[in-house]
Structures are given as C-alpha cells and as structure tokens.
Amino acid sequence: MLCGVLAAAVSPVHAQTALTLDEAMRRARSDTAEARVLGALTGEAEARARQARANFWPQIDLSEIVQRGNQPVFVFGSLLSQRRFTEAGFAIPALNQPEALTNSRTALTVAHTLFDPARTSLAVAAATLESDLVAARREAGEQDLAFRAAQAFVRVLEFEAEVRAISAAVSAAESDQARARARRDVGLVTDADVLALDVHLADMHQRRITAAGDLAVARLTLAAAAGLPLSDAVTPVPPKVPSALPDPEALVRSALPAHPRLREAAAREQLAGTSQRMARAAWLPTVRLQGGWEFNGRTLAAQKSSWLVGAEVRLNLFRGFADAARAGETAQATARAVAERERVVRQLEVEVRAALAQLAAARARQDAGRAAVAQARESQRIIRDRYDSGLASVTDMLRAAGAALEADSRAAAADMNVILQAVALDRALGRL
C-alpha cells in the first residue's frame, strides 16, 4: 500500500504545463489571490481619495417627517410653520393644554463650506498621497509575490536536476554491481563486494524516491505561487542568465529613483508635511453657508412653504494647547519621514551592491561546480578501471560514486543559485 501511495504522489497528473520564469512571475503578480488582495487595497485607497474630494461640493439633503402630538412647544411651532396660528392660540388654556396636532414636514437643506483654510484641499492631498503610498506598497508586494514564485520555480529545477543526478547514479550503481558480480563469478572478489554494491544501489533507489516526492511537492508549490491549477504538472523552462555583470554605479543611478520602496518613503514624507500644514490650519477661521426650504402642513396637500438662509463663522480660540501639541507632533513626524527616506535610499543601495556581489559569487561557484563534476567523473572512471584491474577496492569505487553524485548535486545547486541571484538582483532594483 505504501508503494502505491508513493507512486501516486510522484506520478505525472493529467495536464502538463510548460512555464517560463517570466510567465511564473507575471502570473504571481496578477493571477493569484494574494495579487487580488493587493489590487483591492489600491481600489480602497482610490475610493477614499474620491471621498475626500466630495467635500468640495455642497451637501444637499431631502427629508420627510410626519409627527403628531400635543406637546405645547411642538403644537405652537407647528401652527406657526403651517401659517395657521390665530389670536386664539395665545389663550392660556390653549397654550398649556393644546389639542393634538399633526404636522407633515418636507425639508430641503443645503450646506456648503465657503472657507476652511485649505483643510479640504489638504485632506484631498493627503488622501491622494495615501493612494500613492498604497500603490507603491502594492508594487512592492507584487514583487515579493514574483520573487516567491521565482524561488518555487528554481526549487523545481533544482529537484529535477537532483532526480536526474540520482538516476544517473542508479545507472552507475547498476553497472558497478554487474562489474562486481562478474569479478566474483571468476573468483577475483568475494560476495562482500557484491553485497556492498547491493546496499549502495538500494540506497540510490531510496534517494531517487525521496527526490521524486520532493519534486512533486515543489511542483505543487510552484503551481500555487503562479496561480495555476494544482492538478497541473508544472514543467519549468530553464531561463538564460546574461553572462556579463552590469556596472554597479549605473544600476544604482538608474534604478533607485523608480524603486517602489523609495516612492513609498517619498509619499510618507509628503504625507507628513501635509499633516503638518493641516495642524497649522486649525488656528484659522471656518466659514460655512447654510440654507433650507421647507413645507409644513396637516397633510401633504395642505403644506405651506418657508425658507431660511444663514452663514456660520467659527474661530478656534483655545483648546487646551491640543493644537500646539498636534503641530509639534506633526513636525517631529515630518523630520522622522525625511530621515526614513534617507535610510531607505542607503539601504536600497546596499541591497543592490550586495545582490551584485552574490550574483558574482554564484557564477564563480557555478564554474567551480562544473569543473568539480568533470574531475569527479574522471576520478570515477579511473577508479573503475583500477577496480577491474584489481588495484582498487570496492570501498574506493563507492567513495568515487558518492563523490560524483555530490559533485553533480553541488553543480546543479550552483546553476539554480545563479538564476535565483539574478532574480534577486532585479528585486533589489525594483524591476520584478
């Protein structure tokens, strides 16, 4: 039963999907649930900016109210609003114990802020900056998603290379096993050599099963990161990595101004400055215009009209020094945002230079790994010839086989690391 489960886990599924690295990263940025979450956040920020712009327009409300009662003030005011008040209404009994009255009131009210010392315009500017800030965060988040997809992509390539290397080791072990049996059959070695190679071959088979299982899991992870159906057998297409390393100074000069993290820091700095100006505007007066047109009557058909217009001027004289404290707080926040932007610039430059150094080191390891593979295979060939001649032991042959497999694994890992470091450089540059 266990063998059947393993076979089902590593066997190919129905759909085969060839996937390039660029396509995997593009899909991760646009076709995953995480990408849609980021898009929704941007939409929310844009909607808040539109809400802030609404304060430039007047506020208009229409209301319909029907009330009935004998509350003296209500009856007195309703009669006046209905234009039905008479001299009899001044009688003391009528004032103190009025009869129940129904009033139907239809009102249209208009209010508009004529002057608010740039509070509305500053609020709109702040909301727009918040939208820019979220957009920069979205781009940075999409780059994180793309890098995660690239990691999953490279992981699949690495396991594929490991499966190929172990499969080659299995073939080599089978050849060594046949060689040892032939020498045993003619009496040149004992059963101990054959048993040692049997154990080695069984170990290689186990390692291949484990690697195949890891490969199946890696394919699932890549499909999830790229927004593909989990039932698809994703087959990554190895990309080509440029051999020439770019100039660090040119990269820093060209890439940093457009980096999303730097744009985010700049938006934070501008937002802090806007908050500081809003805090200072609290000491300036506010002027609002108000107007209303209403209809009152016992029924809708009997309503009488009236209107009212007015203006309000409000000046902040004293609020317990809260406004001064708010101004001081925003000034410190602005200074912090300026320092934060400088820190981000420095950090991004460090990341770019570090990514270039890591890419150069990965390429050096790649060259060394390929040379090590050639040396290990040549050493394995020599040991086999010496074993056939009786000049080497089965231990020497097993050691050479292990060294060859280790060299193949290291070389494959170095090749995949070059791809990943190239993607990491693009991420540091904000280009994913």
Q: Which of 118-122, 204-208, 241-245, 423-427 is the least confident region?
A: 241-245
- Closest among 376, 381, 367, 380 to 418, alpha carbons compared: 367
- Mean of the per-residue pLDDT values for the chain? 87
pLDDT (mean) for 113-136 = 85
pLDDT band at 2 (very low <50, low <70, confident <90, very high): very low
Question: Strands 232-237, 15-20: parallel, antiparallel or unpaired by DSSP?
Answer: parallel
pTM of the model: 0.76
Q: What is the pLDDT of residues 213-271, one digit of tens each?
A: 999 999 999 999 999 888 878 888 888 876 667 777 777 777 777 889 888 999 999 98
CA distance linking residue 71 with residue 265, whole number of Å: 61
Flag whether 103 is in a domain.
Answer: no
CA distance linking residue 169 with residue 197, whole number of Å: 12
Total structural domains within the chain: 1
CA distance linking residue 139 with residue 145, whole number of Å: 10
Flag whether 131 is in a domain.
Answer: yes
Flag whether 143 is in a domain.
Answer: yes
Flag whether 197 is in a domain.
Answer: yes
* Three-class secondary structure of residue 312 per DSSP: strand
**Is 25 within 8 Å of 150 (Cβ atoms)?**
yes
Residue with tokens 């980096």: 259
Flag whether 101 is in a domain.
Answer: no
Provide the residue range defining the domain that includes 369.
2-57+117-286+321-428
CA distance linking residue 4 with residue 11, whole number of Å: 10
**Is 279 within 8 Å of 330 (Cβ atoms)?**
yes
We report the CATH number of the domain holding residue 330 as: 1.20.1600.10
CA dihedral in degrees (350, 351, 356, 361; nearest 10)? Answer: 100
Query: From the CB of residue 228, how many other CB atoms can be counted at a distance below 10 Å?
Result: 21
Q: Is the pLDDT of residue 205 over 90?
A: yes
